[in-house]
Chain A
């Protein structure tokens, strides 16, 4: 039970971190192309690669993985905002930008995650 509450608290912290980082990125890059969530999802995926290699394969620790992976990184990254941003680009007549955003995020997230996994000893 206390693990569930700790995971939830880490998720809340992850969401706050996303909120702060998204604001900073949008302030610098503008809102013409939704770069904030895109960057956040890639960074979170690189980190989950490291955690998976370290806490699932090399030194299995279910408790720590639940806190930092399911909690912090799960709360930090988001599929809902990202989905709406991609769909809004598409329905706003910017289909190429929508596909570029979704595909490049997935490719960089997977590539970065795999690299992190390998570096962490997975």
Chain B
């Protein structure tokens, strides 16, 4: 035993509230772009397609300043596009956001751009899990193979729930949200089986997984709305909780 046995080995993540909120908004926008394209291919209500595209474009507009605000030198945000580095999830993410922002905005008037926006959107929905997973922070790297799927399912649930709450009573949205809630429940079980994390991630998991799943199984219009609201809340808590769990994990890290 030495006196350094209670000094953390790693530095705490410096990210503040903007980053988890960006994960939430960017993920939802990305999944919405995919829903928009799928709805269009399936010949769903034209208004649903339009709203999904607006969520994608609006999400990109909100997400970008969140990411810029978190920089230590926000005025240098364009340096993100100075190089492209495949080995840096942050670099891949910055370029994806740029592509997604452009494509989802043009997608308001163009079907071709909508497909490009959906492709970038799929990366938007999942890459944030890679961003956390491929780090030195113990709790993040231990879940490197789970977080991208976890965040992806969460993004899908958010986008479908948001469209439901906007008044779109499409069975496909309900099915997607149910599938996402079932996936979130399974992921929650898997995380618990690996030793679990902390209270806040568990609370986020409850609102994302079991609670909306049960509410959807009941199946009345009222419980469907409640399930959608629960999924939105759960998804937001999940992102905040995982960033905070990383800070706590760094504080506990020892050589």
A and B associate: no
| B interface, CB within 8 angstroms of A | none
Give the interface of A toward B (CB within 8 A). Answer: none
